[in-house]
Structure 1
């Protein structure tokens, strides 16, 4: 079993672009196993291997967790960088806010094109698909996590997406690894924990291959989402105005329905504006299709507004009118 996991990681390393690797180390079971596996591979060490632990300061024992991570890295002879960050809680769920803070800290600390290895595994992928499904996600969301994805100035690498958590646990036990157990992982008020603790075990009892089947379906959706993404890039080139902040609305409306939404979102991302929700997109389509030529339809959402003038839709940041 250890040999199987090492061979899996060795093959995954062979498909990576050049660059040093930083393991995102929480100190939990999964990331501790990933660090131990990569530390055992000369191919990984030859690239330059380190670990990064982000201390959010959210738990009373977070300082002890950092110390445990330092001991884990010392045992593996891998250098550790500890990043301390504050989580902005106002207006957001704590889990999402912590994720944003974590990625912001990583971006600031990483070298360009450094590869960050995350320990998400097959069970995590199945949870992600179910969460996205319950939240009404489209193909991009239902395709779940990619094995390799650029996130700003670094590459996010998830080499364990095809490996079950039970196999990682068996490896950790065989190697006598120590890891941190975060008590928040038992809180079923958190959606992901509820799925992992209450729902997925019941699915597996009825369908033993539930995780593998869910992840297989996600891989098909991922392929479709990647195709749509490529097509949306070509379609945007056809409908964008000479001014990057404009869109030829008639050409956009004539796109296949499956392309309208991704083209709109790609356009807004390209000009650094926030994306609308699905209801706002539907309202935009309705207004553009129904409003007469003498009308100036406008739709707004936090951080952006779209206005039609003649043949173009203009994307703008909302004006802030000072109060007297």
Structure 2
């Protein structure tokens, strides 16, 4: 099959990516690391994520060679940039899944010892998440370690190459991914307080194999790589060879698709952020009435990016549709709920809410939880079992509820709603506590766990509402209020 002419909309970046497989691996790596240093000047040191397999061992040895050349003053003679970093260390994650995991860790330790490179290993326990495969669960555990390890002046290097990228794009295509999924793995992204960088992403695996053979690199083989029951292995062993035999240029086409997906995702992100600035400017909530004025497609875009912003996780197509139909399309008096992993998505007061799923409050002792003063008379923070922390702070009248509270100088106890409670807010008639919570816009899922402060067995303060009649501060300058830190990412009430 003859070579195809370059199409006019092929970007310069794309052409550079497609040309890199004709460049020397060390030259590509050195140029990539120099670009990392230029784009992220705060990055002073490198951390290599090393599994012991071919890819990561090639990256380890190539980095060591560049570092050695820089130390010997050879880089400039060979036309390569000098090593622009102050340090290099290796992190290995032992998932404990394979029976050979300990051998892989020992291999990595031995090689790093030979190369005189600092090495640390982490043993993790892979926690299974419903709806995810073992590979995804292991990946989550691995990246949690990487994020924990990285300092603000460090970048994590991973050895993903072009074949990994192609597999990723193909798998996401088969899973009905949108532009963000089809963009594949980014070359760089923030990770914790540091940065993740993939310097070999444009190189095919065969080039890594060739480099490993020339430099006698030793690596370990993951026995699971031959298990074609795993989607990535099946794709690699059966589908990709068939594609190559029928469409010799398929690699370039898929790579180009990834770049176009990245462009589309960047544009869509800009659009979504503009709408979020309007629909959710000052809180983690999303206004339903305004959202309903948008087209269905734009609604889904905004919902997707809102959830990503609030949870750090990209929601799937099905979830976004459920939010659109079950929450956004719910009746005025409905209290719909959509559960997603460890999050709860709810609608209340014409707003969409996303919150971490909370464990039920454990049974409360009949006498409640005593909140006793210290020897100096202060009420220190009171931990509520399974329900966060209460703190007393000084507040002038009008800064907390309708009025500040006098200092709790009697027996102070914390309880929760049991049903049938009544009280009066300052200057208002006595009414059912249930009605007061509803009219105060306390969300339904918060009402049952709202702390109630009793003084001498009388309701004195309703968290989220304010002081009750008879417990107002006499002196406006010496009032008090109660703040509740909930057991989740939600701040204070």
Q: Is the 8 A contact 2:335 2:347 kept in 1?
A: yes
Aligned residue among 336, 343, 361 for 1:298: 336
- Distance 1:275-1:90 versus aligned 2 partners, 3 A rule: closer
Segment drifting more, 272-281 vs 54-63: 272-281
Which residue in the other structure is 1:254 paired with? 293
Q: What TM-score, normalized to structure 2?
A: 0.60
Q: Is the 8 A contact 1:276 1:301 kept in 2?
A: no
The structure carrying a bigger helix percent of its residues is 1
Which entry has the higher C-alpha Rg, 1 or 2? 2
Q: Is residue 190 of structure 1 aligned with residue 230 of structure 2? A: yes
Q: Distance in 2 between matches of 1:125 and 1:196?
A: 12
Which residue in the other structure is 1:9 paired with? 29
Which residue in the other structure is 1:25 paired with? 50
CA distances 1:119-157 after superposition (whole Å, capped 9, x unpaired): 110101010011001111111111110000112233111
Which residue in the other structure is 1:57 paired with? 96
Aligned residue among 314, 320, 330 for 1:281: 320
Q: Distance in 1 between matches of 2:125 and 2:49?
A: 18
Q: Distance in 2 between matches of 1:276 and 1:299?
A: 16
Which residue in the other structure is 2:175 paired with? 135
Q: Distance in 1 between matches of 2:358 and 2:220?
A: 48
CA distances 1:188-238 after superposition (whole Å, capped 9, x unpaired): 010000000111011111122222221111111111112212222222111
Q: Is the 8 A contact 1:21 1:44 kept in 2?
A: no
Q: Is the 8 A contact 1:273 1:317 kept in 2?
A: no
- Distance 1:276-1:176 versus aligned 2 partners, 3 A rule: closer
Q: Distance in 1 between matches of 2:215 and 2:155?
A: 26
Structure 1 unaligned segments of length 5 or more: list them: none
Which residue in the other structure is 2:113 paired with? 74
What's the offset of the Cα at 1:67? 1.6
What's the offset of the Cα at 1:19? 2.6
Instruction: Report SS of the residue matched to 1:150.
Output: strand
Say which structure, 1 or 2, has more relative contact order (CA 8 Å, 6+ apart). Answer: 1
Q: Please show how residues 83-232 of structure 1 align to structure 2 within 5 Å.
A: 83-89=122-128, 91=130, 92-232=132-272
Segment drifting more, 69-78 vs 168-177: 69-78
Q: Is the 8 A contact 2:158 2:199 kept in 1?
A: yes
- Distance 1:259-1:148 versus aligned 2 partners, 3 A rule: farther
Q: Is the 8 A contact 1:65 1:180 kept in 2?
A: yes
- Distance 1:81-1:280 versus aligned 2 partners, 3 A rule: closer
Segment drifting more, 29-38 vs 106-115: 106-115
RMSD: 2.6
Instruction: Report SS of the residue matched to 2:110.
Output: helix
Q: Is the 8 A contact 2:345 2:355 kept in 1?
A: yes
What's the offset of the Cα at 1:47? 3.0
Q: What TM-score, normalized to structure 1?
A: 0.89
Q: Distance in 1 between matches of 2:121 and 2:180?
A: 32
